[in-house]
Structure 1
Amino acid sequence: MLVLTTAHRPLATPRARLPQPPAHPRKPSHERHRLRDLLLARLPKSGLSVEEQAQLRALLPAAQARNGGHSGTVYMQSITAAGWRGIGPAATVQLRPGPGLTLVTGRNGSGKSSFAEAAEMALTGDNFRWQGRTQVWKKGWRNLHEHSSPEVAVELCFDADSDGAKKPVTVRRVWHGEGLDESRTVVEQAGKPTGEDLHDVIDAEQLTLYRPFLPYTQLGAVINGPLTALHDEISRILGLELLSDSDTAARARAKTLTETENAAKALTATVIQELSTVDDPRAAEAVAALSGRNPDLDLVRALLKGHSAADEVHLSRLRRLAALEGPNLPTVTKAVSRLRSAATVADDARHGSAEDARQLIKLLDTALEHRRRHPDVSDCPVCGSTDLLDRAWAERTRAQVERLQAEAADAEAAHRELTAAVREMHDLMQPPPAWLQADEPSLAALWRDLTACRAAREPRELADRAERAAAVLADACLQVRDDAIRRITAQDGRWQPVAARLSTWLGQAEAAQATKPVTKQIKAVRAWLRALTDELRDARFKPFADQSGEIWRLLCERSSVSLGAIGLAGVGPQRQVSLPVSVDDADAPAFGVMSQGELHSLALSLFIPRATHQDSPFGFVIIDDPVQSMDPEKVDGLARVLDLYAQHRQVVVFTHDARLKEAISRLGLRATVMAVSRQIDSVVEVVPVSDPVSQALEDARAVARDPHLPPEVADRVLPPMCRLAVEAAYQVIARRTLRDAGLEQSKIQEKVTQPGPLTGLAAIAMGMEGAGPVDVLDAIARDHGTSARDLIRQLNQASHQTPTKPVGDRRDLVRRTERLAKAVQAR
């Protein structure tokens, strides 16, 4: 791959303002564990009571270890797709696995965004463009021209711990069905499956936390989604989720305590209403005890002294007996009748010819099988009779077998009916309830007598015993039930039920009373957690906010919309990201006054610090179409931001907008540029793109090396081509000089593209605009030597008049041109 330019002079003004991103990603710092230690270390001096500290320790979530994943920083070496979106046959974007900016360009529909989506799908199993969409949106994921199974793959490199070597791993996602979710992931190394799972290679939590993909559809979602979600994403990056989780647990605990109190209050109102309808002096006293602001629990306890637990146990026993249900005699009678009938039929079948029929069937089947195997032999193998087992015998025998089978079937049906009748009888003889032995032992004994009938082996005996035992038990149950109802009625019909209800209320009131000190403790714990959260959040969020703010200012340098200090505000449902905005020093709602380009710039300002956080293991960032809706000034700012982060990250940008490539070239920034083109039947090709200087020099070399080119043609063509290379180099520097001087982009474009001698363009590049040609040539001689001055004169003359003398050594002219162009770029 070729670089876009070789010039790379730091732009002092913008970069001095922009906070430098981390020099390189580092391994996760396990902030959650360190935060737990910090929180516990501060507890002794927190001002919380011993009880409150104990509550906080109980609320802390359990420590969780991070998932697996290869060690080292991960870079992307290639992206491959086949049968996926706009890509038909397999196509690959090769990337240099390491820091640097790569620009993948191509017109709309060329398939470039398909590569970005392929990388996202390979590692995450999803694409943001489909999140929250209906199935209609997902139908276009397969390529229309490629009929083989789709697949996407990324080749990853991991920095080794010591020697710096790379360990390439390919993560491949292949589809085995028609649905988007019908895929599986294969991890390969050196072309062979490793047996690892995707999450053995990439930590799932870190992929969610530092998601390094920003598709175009997510640009709007970053800011259009709920700010609570954005707040939570940033908080997790800052390692504050432990505090958030602890506050959530405290809030849930407080809610439970409040619900206990509210339930007691609701029950109080209900019990007061019930007591008010009871004509009993004790009920009136209970109403008075419950009606105050703070119910008199001691008075209620005194009222309940006469209502002992033993009384309640006795009453509960009577209620169980009053609701007791014995055997259902009609059902038992029906089952007994069925059993007796089935027994009679079974006896008839058993004493009939059914058994003989079964044995004879077996014998005749054996004889028929012998006849089938030996059709030419009619002698009986048992008795030796001749001409006995002939065809007529076989037909008679088969008819006899069919008659015998019918007789045997009737016997089997009788046996099955008898078995079912016995099972039904057994099912009706269930054991007594477990509580009955303690409540009414004699009745339990009768119930066991019924159950014991199941031991009868003879069906008629079972029917007789069950019929007698069921009748005895049903009569006894009826007597016990009627007696229990009478005894319950004889109880204190007014006070006893009310006392039971009042006892239930007392238990809930005591539980509610016990929650009050705990509620105060939880309130104190939450207040301390909020203060600690504010303190740590402000400290940890500041570098993030500084980067976001300065990225915004660089992207929107000439915008009338100013963005203040971004902040995380609120807790619980009120949490959000604060985005203070002003227009010409007047406060304004952020999203209401921003243009689409400014909204996208804001989204980038929030995404880049998150994706490039120092704890992220991902050394790469993939951004799709960030240039849309941006004016030229913002495109320049975007180029600078991308270049800054590309110093320590692998930044891959997909775009159809040529302005970003032009801005990178004009600002003299290093970038690898590739072009994606799509041919018929979705054949996609990816080729490297040279910068204007390199392209002009390459064209000039081709002319200089052509032995068949006539000298007079070379003398006329080669100098203008070399002039184009020097002119392109001076244009880059001239644009940067005018930009640093504060000129608007339109004015810069007009100045650097106006026709004229090379000395005019060189004068602008060297900050000598308006100087005469002689002074400019002298300055070129001082900077690059007299040979450079002579070359400029030669190229100028050859471009504006017919050459008066031959070029001479063509290759030497190209070499001198290349030296001067590179020297100019290096300014």
Structure 2
Amino acid sequence: MSDTTSLRDLLLARLPGSGLSAEEQALLRDLLPATQSRSGARSGTVYMRSITASGWRGIGPAATVRLKPGPGLTLVAGRNGSGKSSFAEAAEMALTGDNFRWQGRTQVWKKGWRNLHEHSAPEVAVELGFDVGSDGEGAKEPVTVRRVWYGEGLEESRTVVEEAGQATGEVVHDVIDAEQLSLYRPFLPYTQLGAVINGPLTTLHDEISRILGLELLSDTDAAARARAKTLTDTENAAKALTATVIQELSEVDDPRAKEAITALSGRSPDLDAVRALLQGHGAADEAHLARLRRLADLERPDRPLIAKAVTRLRSAAAAADDARHGSAEDARQLIKLLDAALEHRRRHPDVSGCPVCGSTDLLDRSWAERTRAQVERLQTEAAEAEAAHRELVHSVREVHDLMRPAPAWLQADEPSLATLWRDLVACRTVRDPRELADRAERAEAVLGDACDQVREDARRRVTAQDGRWQPVAVRLSAWLGQAEAAQAAKPALKQVKAVRAWVRALTDELRDARFKPFADQSGQIWRLLCERSSVLLGAIGLTGVGPQRQVSLPVSVDDADAPAFGVMSQGELHSLALSLFIPRATHQDSPFGFLVIDDPVQSMDPEKVDGLAKVLDLYAQHRQVVVFTHDTRLEEAIQRLGLRATVMRVSRQTDSVVHVSSVSDPVSQALAEARAIALDPHLPPEVADRVLPSMCRLALEAAYQDTARRALREAGVGQHAIQERVTRPGPLTGLAALAMGIRGKEGREVLDAVARDHGPWARELIQGLNQASHQAPATPVGDRVALVDRTQRLAKEVLAR
């Protein structure tokens, strides 16, 4: 799967030759979703090293399933209720925080998640290995993702990421990318087998499309579809509004309304005529209304404030008159005269004559000192007159300041009122306090009353103007905006349709090319699972776009087309689900090197179980495939077909105590027993020399049987015939011949072939084991451990064929 960026580059590179116009190409670029940065999850192929659970589902005290972190098939078997599925669900819960078992279920289904016998806090954990090379041995430091519950609810949990037993502070998405976990989800519980095919085919279509890396195109088409809907809605809204406005206009007795109806009633409404009508209305009536609205909001001079200032002025004038006719005023006037004389003396210190009366030697130093002392005495006496004078000056200024000019617009809107306002302003030239008070008071009263009258008149006239036509004119203006939007939407909608057509064609092309390997893989899985079924599955495909998108599942029964779900048995439906799930979970771009499948055998007949064993073996060549099952038929099929698998047994005892034990394969078991005999110091030598060769021969028989089964199966021999041939009594060389594909050869020729493949030592080993197994050895075995080592070496090489 190409990532979004590379698909974006491909799309943009094809634009110049797309046949789209420049505007349509610009539209497509605008519709493209923004690029998204990749997650910072750890790199490398992820394998599982172990699954641990405690207090979880059917598991009480902590129990662990240990796994080899690399490609291979592991079968975890156990009866119903043993706790095997609890391990599968524990792994899913630890990494995803959810279980398919509970998706869409009520709370009743979630009540059994805690174990009834373990009272400590539940925990589930998965130890992961990250392989950055090709050896699959977990080249990077293992990481444990642990989910711990701190409350009673299923959702009351937290995750801890650990390395070397220590918390790293990371979250699970720092280890595994959440998007990839959703995209290539490597867990298939039994409950999901049915959901894969029972769910909406649109959902399955989208999930597969995401794997194909076409979400950029589907998102672009969705954005274009949304844009087209918006444009279409705009056109439809304009049409609906036209009918409504025409009805409203028909109810207005006004020539302009009739003109508007004519403009709106044509096949294509005359937008220019409507604009002209509204512009005329705006140029004339709106200017008039604007004048009236200004007058309606006119504010008169502030009467209370002016009245207060006039009262203060009159009081200040009276106080000034009283002071003027009293001794205080005389003192103030005398101070002025004496200050002037002192100023003259200061400016002319050498002149002592009086400039007023002409007396000589009068304004000397002694006179100046006496005069200054007199001024100081008179200042105290003149303070009252000075304060009255200052108050009068301030009062006059205050009244002048309140005589503000009229607004500039009033000159043109209401000239008569502007004249009255000028009379008010003229008061600013009056200096006499009493005259100023009287004129200000009269001017304000006349102007204020006039302002009130003009304002009320303007308000009445505005109300009269905003009659029945004004709302209709506003409605017509709104219609014009909608109609203009609809007019602009037409070419835009045409552009969107052209863009969608091109994106759909590109989607079909890339989808067919990218989906073919997926479809081929699903077909291969189906054929292995349903080798002898009368139901044939054709080439799976992705069809349709938008709401019509789905997964095509062409099915025929005895060459007659049939609906897939209607003619398939439950086993075939589960086989179909596996055929669709496995290619997704094992996609080449998936970082998950493991696949966890729970109870896939149910509802399958024996032939399909054999097919399932073949499918699992096929994918176990490059994946860590872990299968949980209670059905012994899968284990039997694996053994019968000579497939390699690690088998683990889960058993449950009282109080939910769960044990997991490894089940050795026949070769390993025979070698282990042989090595135990070789290392037993208490076993009499004559007994060891007699029993040990037989045990070693059993190990080689098991190895040759395993290899022979695989060779015969690859040669197309049926299962019944294979079982008969590999279990037929005979010399070890007969099994070796089957394994090497050299049927019909004499024992000596088979041994020569063994020597060519493995070396002379291997021929000598087989000869020695055959002889010792049928008669007492003439000579002691010698180094018993060395004999077991040679047997193990040959068995390993035979199994590796």
TM-score of the aligned structures, taking structure 2 as reference length: 0.72
Is residue 2:547 matched to residue 1:569? no
Given candidates 584, 599, 606, the residue that maps to 1:610 is 584
Please give the alpha-carbon distance, in whole angstroms, between the structure 1 residues aligned to 2:3 and 2:170.
27
1:719-747 Cα deviation digits (max 9, x unpaired): 77566545534543454455445454455
Q: Is the 8 A contact 1:152 1:172 kept in 2?
A: yes
| 1:504 corresponding residue in structure 2 | 478
Report the 3-state secondary structure (helix = DSSP H, G, I; strand = E; otherwise coil) of the residue aligned with 1:668.
coil
Please give the alpha-carbon distance, in whole angstroms, between the structure 1 residues aligned to 2:669 and 2:780.
23
1:384-412 Cα deviation digits (max 9, x unpaired): xxxxxxxxxxxxxxxxxxxxxxxxxxxxx
Q: Is the 8 A contact 1:781 1:787 kept in 2?
A: no
Please give the alpha-carbon distance, in whole angstroms, between the structure 2 residues aligned to 1:195 and 1:477.
77
Q: Relative CO higher for 1 or 2, CA cutoff 8 Å, sep ≥ 6? A: 1
Please give the alpha-carbon distance, in whole angstroms, between the structure 1 residues aligned to 2:602 and 2:44.
34
Q: Is the 8 A contact 2:60 2:658 kept in 1?
A: yes
Aligned 1:734-749 pairs, distance under 5 A:
734-736=708-710, 738-740=712-714, 742-746=716-720, 748-749=722-723
Please give the alpha-carbon distance, in whole angstroms, between the structure 2 residues aligned to 1:643 and 1:317.
92
Given candidates 71, 82, 89, the residue that maps to 2:61 is 89
1:607-637 Cα deviation digits (max 9, x unpaired): 2222222222222222222222233333333
Please give the alpha-carbon distance, in whole angstroms, between the structure 1 residues aligned to 2:450 and 2:514.
79
Which consecutive unaligned segments of at least 5 residues does structure 1 have? 1-28, 324-439, 441-474, 798-802
| 1:188 corresponding residue in structure 2 | 162
Report the 3-state secondary structure (helix = DSSP H, G, I; strand = E; otherwise coil) of the residue aligned with 2:472.
helix
Q: Is the 8 A contact 1:104 1:652 kept in 2?
A: yes
Q: Over alpha carbons, which structure has the higher Rg?
A: 2
Please give the alpha-carbon distance, in whole angstroms, between the structure 1 residues aligned to 2:9 and 2:450.
70
Please give the alpha-carbon distance, in whole angstroms, between the structure 2 residues aligned to 1:702 and 1:285.
111
Deviates more, 1:688-697 or 1:313-322: 313-322
Given candidates 47, 61, 65, the residue that maps to 2:19 is 47
Aligned 1:168-179 pairs, distance under 5 A:
168-179=142-153
CA 1:558–1:146 in structure 2 vs 1: closer, same or farther (change >3 Å)? same
Aligned 1:121-200 pairs, distance under 5 A:
121-160=93-132, 165-200=139-174
Aligned 1:3-402 pairs, distance under 5 A:
31-160=3-132, 165-308=139-282, 311=285
Is residue 2:671 matched to residue 1:671? no
Letter paired with 1:112: K
Is residue 2:766 matched to residue 1:788? yes
CA 1:129–1:767 in structure 2 vs 1: closer, same or farther (change >3 Å)? same
CA 1:787–1:649 in structure 2 vs 1: closer, same or farther (change >3 Å)? closer
Letter paired with 1:660: L
Please give the alpha-carbon distance, in whole angstroms, between the structure 2 residues aligned to 1:753 and 1:645.
28
| 1:460 corresponding residue in structure 2 | none
Please give the alpha-carbon distance, in whole angstroms, between the structure 1 residues aligned to 2:462 and 2:114.
76
Letter paired with 1:662: E
CA 1:66–1:285 in structure 2 vs 1: closer, same or farther (change >3 Å)? same
Letter paired with 2:141: K
CA 1:721–1:73 in structure 2 vs 1: closer, same or farther (change >3 Å)? closer
Letter paired with 2:565: F
Please give the alpha-carbon distance, in whole angstroms, between the structure 2 residues aligned to 1:823 and 1:55.
64
| 2:554 corresponding residue in structure 1 | 580
Report the 3-state secondary structure (helix = DSSP H, G, I; strand = E; otherwise coil) of the residue aligned with 2:589.
coil
Please give the alpha-carbon distance, in whole angstroms, between the structure 2 residues aligned to 1:611 and 1:154.
18
Please give the alpha-carbon distance, in whole angstroms, between the structure 2 residues aligned to 1:195 and 1:137.
33
Report the 3-state secondary structure (helix = DSSP H, G, I; strand = E; otherwise coil) of the residue aligned with 2:170.
coil
Report the 3-state secondary structure (helix = DSSP H, G, I; strand = E; otherwise coil) of the residue aligned with 1:673.
strand
Report the 3-state secondary structure (helix = DSSP H, G, I; strand = E; otherwise coil) of the residue aligned with 1:669.
coil
Please give the alpha-carbon distance, in whole angstroms, between the structure 2 residues aligned to 1:188 and 1:313.
78
Please give the alpha-carbon distance, in whole angstroms, between the structure 2 residues aligned to 1:277 and 1:70.
73
Is residue 2:494 matched to residue 1:524? no
Deviates more, 1:236-245 or 1:779-788: 779-788
Please give the alpha-carbon distance, in whole angstroms, between the structure 2 residues aligned to 1:508 and 1:205.
43
Letter paired with 2:553: L
Report the 3-state secondary structure (helix = DSSP H, G, I; strand = E; otherwise coil) of the residue aligned with 1:308.
helix
Please give the alpha-carbon distance, in whole angstroms, between the structure 2 residues aligned to 1:763 and 1:807.
28
Q: Is the 8 A contact 1:215 1:624 kept in 2?
A: yes
Q: Is the 8 A contact 2:52 2:63 kept in 1?
A: yes
CA 1:146–1:776 in structure 2 vs 1: closer, same or farther (change >3 Å)? farther
Aligned 1:588-607 pairs, distance under 5 A:
588-607=562-581
Q: Is the 8 A contact 2:50 2:128 kept in 1?
A: yes
In the TM superposition, residue 311 of structure 1 has moved relative to its aligned partner by 3.3
Which consecutive unaligned segments of at least 5 residues does structure 2 have? 298-412, 414-448, 755-762
In the TM superposition, residue 307 of structure 1 has moved relative to its aligned partner by 1.6
Report the 3-state secondary structure (helix = DSSP H, G, I; strand = E; otherwise coil) of the residue aligned with 1:307.
helix
Please give the alpha-carbon distance, in whole angstroms, between the structure 2 residues aligned to 1:621 and 1:302.
73
| 1:453 corresponding residue in structure 2 | none
Letter paired with 1:180: L
1:482-515 Cα deviation digits (max 9, x unpaired): 8678435633845443333222212211111111
Q: Is the 8 A contact 1:159 1:166 kept in 2?
A: yes
In the TM superposition, residue 248 of structure 1 has moved relative to its aligned partner by 1.0
In the TM superposition, residue 72 of structure 1 has moved relative to its aligned partner by 2.4
| 2:319 corresponding residue in structure 1 | none
Please give the alpha-carbon distance, in whole angstroms, between the structure 2 residues aligned to 1:807 and 1:655.
49
Aligned residues: 641
Report the 3-state secondary structure (helix = DSSP H, G, I; strand = E; otherwise coil) of the residue aligned with 2:16.
helix
Please give the alpha-carbon distance, in whole angstroms, between the structure 1 residues aligned to 2:61 and 2:98.
22
1:578-621 Cα deviation digits (max 9, x unpaired): 22222232222222222222222222222222222222222222
TM-score of the aligned structures, taking structure 1 as reference length: 0.70
Please give the alpha-carbon distance, in whole angstroms, between the structure 1 residues aligned to 2:609 and 2:291.
85
Report the 3-state secondary structure (helix = DSSP H, G, I; strand = E; otherwise coil) of the residue aligned with 1:686.
strand
In the TM superposition, residue 193 of structure 1 has moved relative to its aligned partner by 1.6
CA 1:312–1:156 in structure 2 vs 1: closer, same or farther (change >3 Å)? farther
Please give the alpha-carbon distance, in whole angstroms, between the structure 2 residues aligned to 1:309 and 1:65.
56
The root-mean-square deviation of aligned C-alpha atoms, in Å, is: 3.9
In the TM superposition, residue 49 of structure 1 has moved relative to its aligned partner by 0.9
Q: Is the 8 A contact 1:780 1:788 kept in 2?
A: no
CA 1:75–1:739 in structure 2 vs 1: closer, same or farther (change >3 Å)? closer
CA 1:657–1:754 in structure 2 vs 1: closer, same or farther (change >3 Å)? farther
- Percent identical among aligned pairs is 80
Q: Is the 8 A contact 1:666 1:731 kept in 2?
A: no
CA 1:732–1:193 in structure 2 vs 1: closer, same or farther (change >3 Å)? closer
Q: Is the 8 A contact 1:159 1:167 kept in 2?
A: no
Letter paired with 1:127: N
Please give the alpha-carbon distance, in whole angstroms, between the structure 2 residues aligned to 1:222 and 1:318.
73
Given candidates 500, 504, 509, the residue that maps to 1:535 is 509
Letter paired with 1:639: A
Deviates more, 1:721-730 or 1:219-228: 721-730
Please give the alpha-carbon distance, in whole angstroms, between the structure 2 residues aligned to 1:91 and 1:314.
90
Letter paired with 2:8: R
Is residue 2:625 matched to residue 1:647? no
CA 1:247–1:484 in structure 2 vs 1: closer, same or farther (change >3 Å)? farther
